[in-house]
């Protein structure tokens, strides 16, 4: 179901797969097509596609020059956001066509939380009874998503490594899932 980006957060949704019901604010951002500027909205429980939005990618200023993407300006008082999250696929290493955009963020910390959630989601969705922490890490290194935080402005910024984060948390997540 296509929804309006500016209003979906106040709408109520039901997942056809698992029956989850809730407000649009709870939906997860799924895939994103930069070419057609279509964003998927997934069920927060089973990650099934619930809806999608499409918007014009840019607007023009008074001199007919392209400005910052509309999506970035809509929730940020017309200022472009500072950090962009690009997600690569370890299975298709260095294949830009398999990468997708996961959004833009005002602070590095917000972008890092989103990046960490992507790594954690892989472990939760991949884990099965009997898998070891080492099995999970090996699967992540082969098939997991590798989010990269890209600054939209020059200057010094911290560095986030999804692989390092995966190595730091895989044992903890495995223990929690086994409990």
pLDDT in tens, 10-36: 899 999 999 999 998 888 877 765 444
Cβ pair 148, 88 in contact under 8 A: yes
Token readout for 47 is: 């990650």
The region that residue 37 occupies, defined by phi over 0 for left and psi between -120 and 50 for alpha, beta otherwise, is left
Q: What is the pTM of this model?
A: 0.55
SS3 state of residue 103: strand
The number of C-alpha atoms within 13 Å of 73 and in the hemisphere containing its C-beta is 13
Give the architecture-level CATH label for domain 81-179: 2-Layer Sandwich (3.30)
pLDDT in tens, 67-123: 444 444 444 444 556 888 889 888 887 677 888 888 888 888 899 999 999 999 999
The C-alpha atoms of residue 80 and residue 70 are separated, in whole angstroms, by: 9
Of 49, 61, 39, the closest CA to residue 13 belongs to: 49
Helix axes 162-178, 133-143, angle to 10 degrees: 140
Portions of the chain given CATH number 3.30.2260: 81-179
């Amino acid at each position: 179901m296509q929804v309006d980006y500016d209003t979906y957060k106040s709408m109520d949704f039901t997942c056809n797969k698992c029956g989850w019901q809730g407000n649009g604010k709870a939906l997860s951002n799924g895939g994103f097509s930069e070419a057609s500027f279509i964003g998927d909205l997934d069920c927060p429980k089973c990650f099934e596609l619930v809806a999608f939005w499409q918007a014009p990618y840019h607007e023009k200023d008074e001199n007919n020059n392209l400005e910052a993407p509309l999506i970035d300006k809509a929730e940020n008082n017309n200022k472009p956001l500072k950090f962009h999250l690009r997600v690569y696929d370890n299975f298709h290493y260095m294949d830009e066509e398999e990468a997708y955009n996961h959004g833009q963020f005002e602070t590095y910390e917000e972008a890092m939380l989103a990046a960490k959630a992507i790594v954690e989601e892989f472990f939760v969705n991949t884990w099965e009874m009997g898998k070891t922490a080492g099995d999970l890490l090996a699967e992540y290194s082969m098939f997991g998503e590798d989010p990269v935080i890209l600054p939209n402005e020059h200057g010094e910024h911290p560095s986030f490594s999804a692989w390092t984060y995966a190595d730091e948390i895989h044992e903890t997540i495995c223990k929690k899932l086994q409990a």
